Amino acid sequence: MKLETNNLKDVGLKVTIPRVKILKILEQETNNKHFSAENIFNILLDDGDDIGLATVYRVLTQFETAGLVIRHHFESENSVFELNNGKHHDHIVCIKCGKVEEFFDDIVEIRQQKIAKRLGYILTEHHLNLYGLCSSCKN
């Protein structure tokens, strides 16, 4: 039994063609692991698969609910989705080419907890997105 099939079964989703294909796309090892629904829809089209856009949205939302993927909102743009590898990280986005890189910084994480505590909050989540010009685009 293939990996994708297992993942789906594990989270209680039936193994259907759209789900398997979308999961495969998300698992691709590309230079950008962040996909919009439209992105995925177009990749499926190029592959000759006949899967509706509504299904792509539905499946991505189900994957999010199941914890298989994480949804992000960079700037004011559309939702983008990435496979959830279980390791928390934040993002830096190139404002020119759109490249998204991940990073994790202990000091920032600890500091956030301190800030929340000082203000009397129980911290449940945070979003830290850095925006700038990547090494290729800054020239």
Partner DNA sequence: ACTACTATTGATAATGATTCTCAATATCAT
Partner DNA sequence: ATGATATTGAGAATCATTATCAATAGTAGT
- Binding residues for a second copy, per CB under 8 A? 71, 73, 75-76, 79, 92, 94-95, 101, 103, 105, 107-108, 111-112, 115-116, 119-135, 138
Q: Which stretch binds DNA (CB under 7 A): 12-20, 90-98, 103-111, 127-135?
A: 12-20
Distance of alpha carbon 60 from alpha carbon 36, whole angstroms: 10
What's the closest the beta carbon of residue 10 comes to a second copy, in angstroms?
27
Name the phi and psi angles at 91, rounded to 5: -130, 150
Return the one option of DNA, a second copy, none that residue 103 interacts with (CB less than 5 to 8 A, by type): a second copy
Return the one option of a second copy, DNA, none that residue 28 interacts with (CB less than 5 to 8 A, by type): none
Q: Is 38 in the site for DNA (CB under 7 A)?
A: yes
Query: In the chain, how long is the greatest CA-to-CA distance?
Result: 54
Residue 90 and residue 104 in contact, taking contact as beta carbons nearer than 8 Å: yes
**Residue 7, C-beta contacts closer than 8 angstroms, at least 6 positions apart:** 23, 68
Distance of alpha carbon 102 from alpha carbon 89, whole angstroms: 6
Closer by beta carbon to DNA, 27 or else 109:
27
Return the one option of a second copy, DNA, none that residue 53 interacts with (CB less than 5 to 8 A, by type): DNA
Number of residues that bind DNA (CB under 7 A): 23
Distance of alpha carbon 19 from alpha carbon 65, whole angstroms: 14
